[in-house]
A = this chain, B = another copy of it.
Amino acid sequence: MNPFEEHFILASASPRRSELLKQIGLDFTVEVSECDENINEDDPVKMVEALSFRKASAVSDKHKDAIVIGADTVVAYENEILGKPEDEKEALDMLMFLSDRTHIVCTGVSVISPLRGIYHTFSEVTEVTMYENDRDLLKKYISTKEPLDKAGAYGIQGRGAILVSQINGDYNNVVGLPVSRLFRELIKL
């Protein structure tokens, strides 16, 4: 397909994912349906792929003629998965743990359009290396509240940028949606 000539439904409430689709110029609306996000899966790649498929399916069930995009992102270190912190203390623990280390960020993406016979899932992995961040800097960062709704307790596209020394892979994947890879996958469909 030509992604610039289609309309998509983004099955995600994340404002960052909406921003990224806007950034590359796709035409879309947002619709989110409830789905069970509990999953018995330890492997981060398999987990995000399965959850992205569930999210897209829940919306696609109601819009069989639409092209629905679902996504799920986790932060992981040696197969230990870090979700969103429950409070400031857990945010500090997570950020101290990630300090001076390289972790991965995995995003699974599913594109579903039953009427076109499209059931496509892929994932993208980016390595992120943190500076050695001291407790005072991390506390100051956490006081901005930015970490509290973010997997791994940081937002690379916000003030969290100062914690990160380098990445290896797709930056937007860390933000929450690998739009460049998604664009290539859509062309192939």
> Chain A: residues with CB nearer than 8 A to chain B?
4, 20, 23-25, 126, 131, 140, 144, 156-159, 161-172, 179-181, 183-184
Contacts and interface: CB of A to CB of B under 8 A. Distances in A.
B140 A161 contact: no
Given A24-B161, A131-B180, A171-B171, 6 more contacts: A23-B157, A23-B158, A24-B162, A131-B184, A166-B170, A168-B168
B4 A159 contact: no
B167 A169 contact: yes
A140 to B, nearest CB: 7
28 contacts: A4-B140, A20-B161, A23-B157, A23-B158, A23-B161, A24-B159, A24-B161, A24-B162, A25-B144, A25-B159, A131-B180, A131-B184, A161-B172, A161-B180, A162-B180, A162-B183, A163-B180, A164-B170, A164-B180, A165-B170, A165-B180, A165-B181, A166-B170, A167-B168, A167-B169, A167-B171, A168-B168, A171-B171
A123 to B, nearest CB: 14
Contacts of A165: 170, 180-181
Nearest to A140: B4
Contacts of A144: 25
A186 B134 CA distance: 15
A159 B24 CA distance: 4
Nearest to A179: B161
Nearest to A144: B25
A180 B140 CA distance: 15
A168 B170 contact: no
A156 to B, nearest CB: 8
